Copies of this chain bind each other. A is one copy, B any other.
Amino acid sequence: MLVREGETSYIRAIYIDPTRIGKDSFMGTTLAQLAELVDGKVFGDPDRVITGANIIRDAVAGEITLMDKPDQTALLMEDCQASAVLVREESEKLNIDGIVVANVHEAFGKIIRFFQPWEQTASAGIHRSAIVSLAAVVDPTATIGAGAVICDGVAIGKNAVIHSGVHIQAGCRIGEEVVIFPGAVLYDRTEVGDRCIIHANAVLGAFGFGYDSSSGKHILSAQLGNVVLESDVEIGAGAMVDRGTYGSTLIGEGTKIDNTVQIGHNCRLGKHNLICSQVGIAGSSTTGDYVVMAGQVGVRDHVHIGTGAMIGAKAGIGSDIPNGQQTLGVPGGPAKVILGEHMAIKKLPEMRKTIKSLVKRIEQLEKEAAAITEPVIRKAS
């Protein structure tokens, strides 16, 4: 078995120069050893020493890179300093050593990890500095990181990884194999399905933005609901999902939500949606399944986005969107219509010229008509 240098991180770390901020160098390993690691077949020199792994754009001499498309051959041969390449199949055009593997991405991932000096890992158990309520139940296979706060009545499932500094308030339920990154905050009674990933500083269950303003002051509405994530949901860093008024704000199975997205109170998102960064969805709106929203889309309250709808970047949705409709613009409309309008706007300056020339030509015609009609009519009379 291949053993990486410095495998025992505690020992190795002692020898790092504290003032040296930059990339580690390694003694390197041979192409043959890497081929063994990824179950591949060497072509070229098996004893070539490889010191790291990097993408074509960034690889330097000594590193191995990957080629996942045939049309990268020229790029690799002419603009890249890499000393070896991972490929699906050998080629006469590749004048470089390398390894042939069935799945280049999987193999490249293994090699990157091999050369990576450090990786954040989880070890089951509760860190001595975590604050875990006696009235919480944590599965023995779960990990609770340093300084994490787990309040009364929380239940945490098998193999869940709660990173450092996560705050999980009373009555939350965390499913199996869930990962929650540092600084995420789950207000009371949030429910998180199996295999969800919640990124750093995301907030689930903050108050909805609903007020009774009839008195001249804004009086906060009820905040008695919660947030429910079904299984396989991913919540981006700094993303926000507000709690329901009485019921639940729901994110459907397999839906992925990017960084700093805002989901208002009482919303119900369907399954397998992709909601890109900085999208905002106002209260009580709903989506079907497989909805895609590009970046910075805004959706008003109480509308429904149909299954399979795709909303283009920066669109503003003010009314229901039918299933499967590609939608653009502010206010949003069918992509074809909006693109037609964009084209028409681009032609506005030309249109103005045309109109001006029409005005002149008509004036000319009117003059002529006046000039002609009179004598003609005189003559004719």
Contact = CB atoms under 8 A, between A and B. Distances in A.
Interface string A150-187: 01110111100001110101110111100001110101
A365 interface: yes
Interface in A274-302: 274, 276-278, 280, 282, 295-296, 298, 300
Given A256-B218, A365-B362, A277 B209 contact: yes
Contacts of A145: 149
A376 interface: yes
Given A155-B20, A246-B55, A372-B372, A201 B201 contact: yes
A53 to B, nearest CB: 8
Contact of A349 (B222, B340, B355, B362): B340
A209 B259 contact: yes
Contacts of A368: 369, 373
Nearest to A160: B21
B171 A116 contact: yes
Given A200-B185, A248-B58, A274-B211, A120 B349 contact: no
Contacts of A318: 313
A200 B206 contact: yes
A224 interface: yes
A241 B277 CA distance: 12
Interface in A180-214: 181-183, 185, 187-189, 191, 193-194, 197, 199-201, 203, 206-207, 209, 211, 213
A344 to B, nearest CB: 4
Nearest to A142: B18
Interface SS of chain A: loop
B341 A346 contact: yes
Interface in A337-367: 340-342, 344-349, 351-352, 354-355, 358-359, 361-362, 365-366
Given A18-B139, A209-B259, A238 B238 contact: yes
A167 B162 CA distance: 13
17 contacts: A9-B135, A13-B152, A14-B135, A17-B137, A21-B176, A54-B247, A118-B152, A127-B131, A183-B203, A209-B258, A213-B274, A237-B242, A259-B262, A278-B278, A278-B280, A345-B345, A375-B380
Given A199-B206, A207-B234, A237-B240, 15 more contacts: A13-B152, A13-B153, A18-B157, A21-B194, A117-B189, A129-B131, A165-B167, A165-B183, A197-B220, A217-B232, A260-B260, A280-B295, A314-B316, A354-B359, A361-B362
